[in-house]
Amino acid sequence: MNLLLLIGLPLLTAVGVLLSRNTQQVRSIAFAGSALQLVLAIALIYFFNKERAAGAAAQMLFEQNYALFPSLNINFHIGVDGISVAMILLTALVVLAGVLVSWNVENLPAGKAGMTKEFYFLLLLLAMGAYGFFISLDLFVLFFFLEIAVIPKYLLIGTWGSGKKEYSANKLALMLMAGSSLVIVGILGMYFGNGEHKSFDLVHIAQTGLSSSVQKLFFPFLFVGFGVFTALFPFHTWVPDGHSSAPTAGSMFLAGISMKLGGYGCLRVATYLMPQGAQEYSNWIIVLSSIAILYGAFATMMQRDLKYMNAYSSISHCGFVLLGIGMLTKTAIVGAVMQMVSHGLMTALFFAVIGMIYERTHTRQINEMGGLLKVMPFTMTVLFIAGLCSLGLPGFSGFVAEMTVFMGSWQNADNFHRIATVVACMSIVVTAVYILRAIGQVAMGPIKESFNGLSDASWNEKLAAAILIIGIVAIGVAPNWLNDLIRPGAEIIMNKISGK
Amino acid sequence: MPNATYISLIPLLPLAGFLLLGLFGKKIFKNSAGIIGTLLLLTSTILALYTAYGYFFDYGKVDGVYQKLIPLKYTWLEFSPSLLGRAGEGPLSIDMGILLDPISAMMIVVVTFVSLMVHIYSLGYMKGEERYSTYYAFLSLFTFSMLGLVLSSNIFQIYIFWELVGVSSFLLIGFYYDRPSAVAASKKAFIVTRFADLGFLIGILVLSFYSGTLDFNTLIQKLTSPESSELKTAVAASFLGVSALTWGLALVFIGGAGKSAMFPLHIWLPDAMEGPTPVSALIHAATMVVAGVYLVARLFPVFAISAPDALSIVANVGAISALFAAIIACTQTDIKRVLAYSTMSQIGYMMFALGVSKYGGEEGLGYTASMFHLFTHAMFKALLFLGAGAVIHYVHSNDMKDMGGLRKHLPITHITFLLACLSIAGFPLLAGFFSKEEILLAAYQQNTVIYWIALIISGLTAFYMFRLYFSIFWNKEYHAHGEHHGEGGAVMMLPLLLLAVGAVFAGYIPFGHFVSSDGKPLESEFHLSFSIAPVSLGLIGILTAMWLYKNENKKPAKLAASLSGLYKSAYHKFYIDELYLFITKKVLFNLIARPAAWFDKTVVDGLVNFTGNTTQDISERIKGIQSGKVQQYAIYFLVSAVALAVLFIYVWKT
């Protein structure tokens, strides 16, 4: 399968959106493009598994390599392993759902009438950046796509956002840029630290290996740089403001995809290329991520705005990704990747349903709602599902991912790792507290007078929710397919760490 | 051999019911939801009976010992093996499987039978409810989860279904979602049991780490055989002076204690009575709340052989809970709450029976007795709840004060309720008598203190049950007001009658022949002389209740006044709820969560804003330097050149 399709299609769709004449056309093109993209992602899994089953043992499949700038040895090198395939599926699901919930973006209170086209263009550009990021095997190209996935965010929030949107957009863009600047320093450090043969090539660097002094020096740059994207404590404060001000699809992309760019980078670039660095700093990672998990959960308890609540809970949930990486066992790394996929789907669903509620009640304050189950049974069922997935109920993806992280973490037999794991486990109780509080207040209880007669979800919203729920349940009910997809990739990373 | 297809259909049929009714219930099966759910469950019940029959009488026993059969097992999620690199260690995996042994065979019968009774009963009780199909969908979900739980062959599988049982209980308690009290109760139930499940989860992590497996049979075998290296490491490794194995089992027991409403994790159970009454009968009396007992029984060999310390925790917690709940039950006036505390007390019985038991032979009597009591208790407690449901249905109130003299109005309910009360009070020759005697005997043989506590409880039990009985059916005259629809018709009476048969005759099953700690048949002897004490205590309890409550009089009020301190604190459930409220509201919210949120907003985010603002300030200040005026630049240039010259000539001369 030609991986160029994965970035070509969103680009083509984005151009198509720009060229279309009216809202109807914009919607159809965006929908068709992203639906096709989902088909591509599923086909990719199919072909990937087929190749693997046929005995293709190469680390990366479907590789392509074109020279971009030979004198500096920059190549357009792409290829995928199971981890990237999983992330691509996540992206495709979230993008399609995001396109569907943005159907009426022109009606946004803060929206500019007639700018539907621009909105969808930016969404699709973001999507392309994410796909490109996940297939890049050249660090320069990877960085290029990382930036593509950031800048449209600024415009999306600044233009279509709500609340203190300018502040949030600035904060988000600046903090992510700061993260990127650390990343580029780390990448250059590897480029020049790779002895005689300077290279940006991920596979190549992994093969030759970097000297341990280079690793110890530059690992923190890369890990913290990517960590900013995935809400590494204490660099997480862009998350609540950014998510809350973003339009619904923006929040979905932000939490569902952008935060995963960071997790993927921490794993694929920082940990894989600098295993000794990872070992050196793993205790720091564990401490910071355990703090993020529990402290984030407690901070979530106090939030009154649904979007702030989910944003804070993302800090807590993304902590599991970093914790899994920091634990440096194969199972924990598999769990980290699963958590990325799971959290991406679940949080996108959560933001989608918050958007659906907000559009009807015009409030996001938890205390101002009540008894919505009576008038919006479908929407509230979705809220229940998103909430139950978030608190790690079996049958949904969150459980599988968290348990894998816990099992992997526990394999470290010393008290330090044990205590960190127990701290992380404790968050499942706190999560239950804030999720049930929100559900109990929003969906249950006596209905508020003014909410009588609100309409339930429209077809596009239902479809968006269904797509994400199918993803969540498919992982939650039969997780082994995802496990099998991720495991070989995790094993290679793990072998690097244990020095085999 | 067992047929895996049949057995797996037992839980899968209710699951199908859930999906069918959950997805299409509102539109297609609006009125037929009850019938569909009931028929599916009827099929499950028949299959369960068939399976249990086959297991106990056909293929289960090999050389006189009941085997632990695994007719079905598939890998659900595989983990990489731990880093210990022990010899012969395979990958850890969560398997979805079926474990058929005496207790699971018994439990599928109990669960499907009680659930079927509740399904039938609800056809009448819930008729006309707006969310009728949702109700049946949730009931099916619960039944599926509970059956999955009892059939689990893997400790993680049981955890999965454990959580699912918890969520179905949450959904059913909160069924009347527009009542704030129901919402609060459902949240409380979920969060308290979740807290307990945290212990369970960490316990699983500990046990799986040391045994290198999640599979029940392997785990038990590795952690009980004296020569196994896994057992040696698990006992040798210690944390805070307690062995890892004891930690693991104690943590697992916390999970069990939460679900089984053992002190001090019981606070959710009385509130859970906010759910529809048939649900209370099914979940909060007969099935889910005994899951904790079942879990301890499932791991019993490990408890009994390798970690007696952990087992004694089970015994003590069980005994304390049983006594504590029995005292509170004497003072409550909400009839469902009386039953809830009674349930907690009876589960305490089962717990300490396990706790005092040993593994194998005569000494394992407690194990058999515990399972026996679980079985009989399911019958009479479900009957009591469904009877209470009929009463509530009739008087539209939960409070004893609104009742009295109902025996003429509700004749069938009255008789069946009386039988259940006699059974739970241990009246000779009824089901509860046999199982309770066995528990007392086991306690007598192993632990005198617990035996005396148990004896006191049996008197208290008889008292509060007959206090309830007399207050509902005797006492003052009932003056019917408004129109009444009788007892609720055949669908509501049939389950009462069938359960009454169970409550009377279930005790005649020679339980020890089928269920024992080591699978070998156990002859339970019956000593007439031993029964004198508990039976006479029971009679005293009944007579006291009769004296106080048969006719309307001032004696109960006087008695309450004379015991004011004790009565008041028991009436207020010994203020445990208030204690929890204090911990959650004051400590958790105000001392942890609020500071965390504040810290994040002010300090962490403050630093970010500070960085941003400072950068802006600095650039604001230095922007004057870049003025664009050539004269100014020339001055800078000159001054700098002079300064550098001075530096080079005087400072850095070498």
- Give me the residue label for tokens 């005087």: B650
- By the 10 Å C-beta count (0-12 exposed, 13-18 middle, 19+ buried), B616 is classed as exposed
pLDDT at position B577? 79
Fill in the amino acid letter for B425.
A
pLDDT at position A114? 61
CA-closest candidate to residue B442, choices B344, B354, B343: B354
CB contacts of B195 in chain A (<8 Å) are 429
Grouping H, G, I as helix, E, B as strand and the rest as coil, residue A2 is coil
Helices A415-442 and A397-410: angle between axes, nearest 10 degrees? 160
Residue A59 DSSP symbol:
S
Q: Which run of H or of E encompasses A80?
A: strand A74-80
Residue B82 DSSP symbol:
P
pLDDT at position B651? 78
Average pLDDT, chain B: 87
pLDDT at position B420? 92
Distances in Å between the alpha carbon of B118 and those of B33, B235, B492? 14, 45, 9
- By the 10 Å C-beta count (0-12 exposed, 13-18 middle, 19+ buried), B584 is classed as middle
Q: Do A487 and B80 touch (CB under 8 A)?
A: yes
User: Which two structure tokens, joined as six digits, stand for A94?
Assistant: 């979230």
pLDDT by residue (tens digit) across B402-416? 887 888 888 888 899
CA-closest candidate to residue B350, choices B372, B370, B324, B369: B370
For residue B201, give the nearest of A234, A425, A487 by CB distance: A425
Taking CA atoms, what residue in B is nearest to A478? B76
- Give me the residue label for tokens 């089953």: A53
Q: Which run of H or of E encompasses B632?
A: helix B630-646
DSSP bridge partners of B75: B95
Give the pLDDT band (50/70/90) at residue B394: confident
**Nearest 5°: CA angle at B133, between B127 and B137?**
125
Give the pLDDT band (50/70/90) at residue B654: low
What integer is the mean pLDDT of B198-213? 90
Instruction: Tell me which of A283-297, B79-93, B198-212, B440-454 is least confident.
Output: B79-93
CB contacts of A236 in chain B (<8 Å) are 604
- Reply yes or no on whether the pLDDT at B488 is more than 80: no
Å between A240 CA and nearest CA of chain B: 10
pLDDT by residue (tens digit) across B323-344? 999 999 888 888 899 999 999 9
pLDDT by residue (tens digit) across B290-309? 999 999 999 999 999 888 88
**Pair B405, B475: CB distance under 8 Å:** yes
**Greater model confidence, B146 or B650:** B146
pLDDT at position B242? 82
pLDDT by residue (tens digit) across B157-171? 999 999 999 999 999
Q: What burial letters (b/e) apply to A43-81, b meaning 16+ CB within 10 Å?
A: ebbeebeeebeeeeeeebbbeeeeebeeeebbbbbbbbb
Peptide bond connecting A234 to the previous residue in cis, omega within 30 degrees of 0: yes
For residue B160, give the nearest of A329, A377, A394 by CB distance: A394
For residue B596, give the nearest of A295, A371, A391 by CB distance: A295
pLDDT at position A47? 93
Which of residues 235 through 254 in chain A touch B, CB cutoff 8 A?
236-238
Q: What burial letters (b/e) apply to A210-246, b meaning 16+ CB within 10 Å?
A: beeebbbbbbbbbbbbbbbbbbbbbbbbbbbbbbbbb
Cα Rg for chain A, rounded, in angstroms?
Answer: 21
Taking CA atoms, what residue in B is nearest to A427? B198
**Greater model confidence, A56 or A276:** A276
**Pair A245, A109: CB distance under 8 Å:** no
Average pLDDT, chain A: 89
Torsion of CA A408, A409, A410, A415, to 10 degrees: 160
Fill in the amino acid letter for A378.
F
Q: How many residues does chain A have?
A: 500
Å between A100 CA and nearest CA of chain B: 22
Tell me whether strands B238-239 and A61-69 are parallel, antiparallel or unpaired: unpaired
Å between B89 CA and nearest CA of chain A: 14
Helices A415-442 and B180-211: angle between axes, nearest 10 degrees? 160
pLDDT by residue (tens digit) across A108-121? 655 555 678 888 89
pLDDT at position B83? 55
Give the pLDDT band (50/70/90) at residue B626: confident
Distances in Å between the alpha carbon of B505 and those of B282, B420, B494, B497, B501? 20, 11, 17, 12, 6
- Reply yes or no on whether the pLDDT at B485 is more than 70: no
Q: Which run of H or of E encompasses A79?
A: strand A74-80
What integer is the mean pLDDT of B59-63? 85
For residue B140, the Cα-to-chain-centroid distance in whole angstroms is 18
Say yes or no: A287 contacts chain B, CB-CB below 8 A.
Answer: no
Q: What burial letters (b/e) apply to B47-72, b meaning 16+ CB within 10 Å?
A: bbeebbebbbeeebbeeeebebbbbb
Q: Do B201 and A406 touch (CB under 8 A)?
A: yes
pLDDT at position B146? 94
Q: What is the ipTM, given to two decimal places? A: 0.92
Q: Do A421 and B161 touch (CB under 8 A)?
A: no
pLDDT by residue (tens digit) across A435-465? 999 998 888 888 888 888 888 888 989 999 9
CB contacts of B161 in chain A (<8 Å) are 394
Instruction: Tell me which of A141-150, A257-266, A416-425, B582-591 is least confident.
Output: B582-591
For residue A406, the Cα-to-chain-centroid distance in whole angstroms is 20
- Reply yes or no on whether the pLDDT at A32 is more than 70: yes
pLDDT at position B89? 62
- Reply yes or no on whether the pLDDT at B234 is more than 80: no
DSSP bridge partners of A37: none
For residue B363, the Cα-to-chain-centroid distance in whole angstroms is 27
Say yes or no: A171 contacts chain B, CB-CB below 8 A.
Answer: yes
Query: What number of C-beta contacts closer than 8 Å exist between A and B?
Result: 136
Å between A136 CA and nearest CA of chain B: 28
Which of residues 73 through 92 in chain A touch B, CB cutoff 8 A?
none
pLDDT by residue (tens digit) across A317-347? 999 999 999 999 889 999 999 999 999 999 9
